[in-house]
């Protein structure tokens, strides 16, 4: 059953509906699973390991083996900050971001519904993922991108996998409103995170975190927040495993936004359940350059219900954190992902995060999604003749 998160109105699983026709709020898929946790023990490590929790037809699965991403203990940064730090590396998914989890389930649902065209608005990763999964399923894909605001790697992926790319004069929020109208008029099946089946795939990040920790909850999960689907999905996953009796505690959900795109942090600071949308969001972290997040109700519920937190970070803090994780721990991530590390640092310094907490930072996309920013943050190659004595001089000087 699909249910409105605000008024509770129920809808049939196969109804193509994105928001509640009664109150306009977002929807959630309700599932009822009763299997012991050893059910998952000997299965391959993809999101379909937890297939009982995925509300789609198993015979229609569209997959690229998404999920089962690295869970890296980061001792160096952890020790510097006085916490027990793990990083969930979502850039290791097939197209390089966590969106693949959502698209696998979302495109499977599209096949089940028998649609022939899928679409989305995107800051880049969603479109890259949609294009790849639509190609795998043999569906037509249409993506709306804010002109000039999409990182090069992501644009290349959407184009390469055969999506019809429409470059829109406007920001992501405007593009999402436009594509939503096309979906309501049945031109396409919308696979942004406003589609509740997308988040069913993404909740597997929460499943994997507690499974990776030996069926224990961390004290806190920190992640970047843009359209706010992922924090909502991870909290849903954690809550489902808690309700199933697999874990005894739940983590404090902690969302980080860029200073120039922080409607959820602003609402959190006022202890409000409503956001004031930001009309011109701005940040270097293009993936979270979003002023009117569709899942804000779910995200604020996750933060308040878990006694979590929300904080902003500056673009400079994001870029510093990106370099820190890349150079100290060898993990290459795109700028938006680094908001989680920057947020951890800030909240540890301000005392919101206690010494010794077990923290999982979710880093959402691969470094190569945004090669321009990676190059700007790095020392350019040194031009040199292919001559041993010249090379030796350079190596000695650099040491």
- Closer residue to ligand LJ64HWYM, CB minimum distance, 172 or 235: 172
364 is in an annotated binding site: yes
Task: Give the per-residue contact string, 14-33, with ligand LJ64HWYM (x = CB under 6 A; - = no).
Answer: --------------------
**Nearer CB in complex with ligand LJ64HWYM: 229/332:** 229
Residue 343 is assigned to a ligand binding site:
no
Q: Which of 375, 376, 370 is nearest to 149 (CA)?
A: 370
| Position 125 contacts ligand LJ64HWYM (CB under 6 A) | yes
Nearer to ligand LJ64HWYM, 93 or 122 (CB): 122
Based on the shown chain and the rule CB under 6 A, indicate whether residue 122 belongs to the binding site for ligand LJ64HWYM. Answer: yes
Asked if residue 399 belongs to a known ligand binding site, the reply is no
Q: Is 46 annotated as a binding residue?
A: no
Residue 339 labelled as part of a binding site: no
Q: How many residues contact ligand LJ64HWYM, by CB under 6 A?
A: 14
Neighbours of 244 (CB within 10 A): 15
For every residue of 182-239, DSSP letters joined together read HHHTTSSEE-STTSHHHHHHHTHHHHHHHHHTTS---SEEEEE-SSSHHHHHHHHHHH
| Burial bucket for residue 252 (CB in 10 Å: 0-12, 13-18, 19+) | buried
Q: Does 201 bind ligand LJ64HWYM (CB under 6 A)?
A: no
Which range in 7-15, 158-166, 225-233, 385-393 contacts ligand LJ64HWYM by CB under 6 A?
225-233
- How far apart (Å, rounded) are the C-alpha atoms in residues 63 and 88? 20
CA distance linking residue 182 with residue 190, whole number of Å: 9
x-or-dash string of contact with ligand LJ64HWYM, 80-109, rule CB under 6 A: -------------------x----------
The pair of structure tokens assigned to 110 is 């599209």
Q: Is 126 in the site for ligand LJ64HWYM (CB under 6 A)?
A: yes
Tell me if 314 is assigned to a ligand binding site: no
User: Binder to ligand LJ64HWYM among 6, 95, 108, 123 (CB under 6 A)?
Assistant: 123
Query: Should residue 226 be labelled a site residue for ligand LJ64HWYM when binding is judged by CB under 6 A?
Result: yes
Residue closer to ligand LJ64HWYM, measured from CB, 18 or 71: 18
Name the nearest CA neighbour of 217 among 245, 253, 248.
248
Binding mask 303-342 for ligand LJ64HWYM (x = CB under 6 A): ----------------------------------------
H/E element holding 27?
A: strand 27-29
- Binding of ligand LJ64HWYM at residue 287 (CB under 6 A)? yes
Bridge-based pairing state of the strands 117-121 and 84-89: unpaired
First to last CA, the chain: 63
List, in sequence order, every residue forming a beta bridge with 71; answer none if it has no partner.
88
Contacts of 137 (CB under 8 A, 6+ apart): 62, 107, 110, 111
- Write out the residues near ligand LJ64HWYM by the rule CB under 6 A: 99, 120, 122-126, 172, 192-193, 226-227, 229, 287
């Amino acid at each position: 059953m699909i249910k409105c998160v605000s008024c509770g109105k129920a809808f049939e699983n196969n109804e193509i509906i994105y928001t509640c026709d009664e109150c306009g709020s977002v929807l959630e898929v309700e599932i009822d699973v009763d299997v012991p946790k050893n059910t998952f023990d000997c299965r391959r490590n993809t999101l379909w390991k937890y297939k009982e929790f995925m509300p789609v037809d198993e015979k229609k699965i569209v997959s690229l083996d998404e999920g089962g991403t690295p869970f890296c203990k980061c001792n160096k940064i952890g020790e510097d900050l006085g916490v027990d730090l793990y990083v969930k590396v979502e850039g290791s998914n097939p197209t390089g971001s966590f969106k693949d989890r959502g698209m696998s389930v979302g495109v499977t649902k599209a096949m089940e519904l028998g649609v022939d065209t899928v679409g989305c608005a995107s800051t880049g990763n969603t479109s890259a993922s949609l294009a790849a999964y639509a190609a795998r399923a043999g569906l037509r894909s249409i993506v709306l991108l804010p002109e000039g605001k999409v990182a090069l790697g992501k644009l290349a992926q959407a184009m390469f996998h055969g999506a019809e790319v429409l470059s829109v004069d406007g920001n992501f929020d405007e593009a999402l409103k436009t594509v939503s109208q096309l979906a309501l008029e049945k031109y396409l099946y919308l696979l942004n995170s406003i589609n509740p089946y997308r988040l069913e795939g993404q909740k597997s990040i929460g499943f994997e975190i507690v499974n990776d920790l030996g069926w224990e909850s961390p004290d806190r999960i920190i992640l970047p927040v843009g359209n706010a689907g992922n924090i909502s999905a991870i909290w849903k996953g954690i809550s489902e495993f808690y309700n199933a009796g697999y874990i005894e505690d739940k983590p404090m959900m902690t969302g980080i936004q860029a200073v120039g795109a922080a409607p959820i942090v602003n609402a959190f600071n006022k202890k409000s359940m409503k956001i004031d949308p930001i009309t011109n969001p701005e940040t270097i972290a293009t993936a979270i350059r979003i002023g009117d997040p569709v899942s804000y109700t779910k995200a604020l519920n996750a933060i308040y219900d878990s006694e979590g937190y929300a904080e902003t970070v500056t673009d400079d803090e994001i870029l510093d954190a990106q370099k820190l994780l890349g150079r100290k721990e060898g993990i290459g991530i795109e700028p938006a992902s680094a908001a989680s590390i920057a947020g951890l640092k800030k909240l540890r310094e301000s005392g919101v995060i206690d010494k010794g907490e077990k923290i999982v930072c979710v880093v959402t996309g691969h470094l190569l999604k945004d090669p321009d920013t990676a190059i700007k943050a790095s020392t350019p190659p040194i031009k040199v003749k292919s001559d041993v004595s010249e090379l030796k001089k350079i190596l000695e000087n650099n040491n």
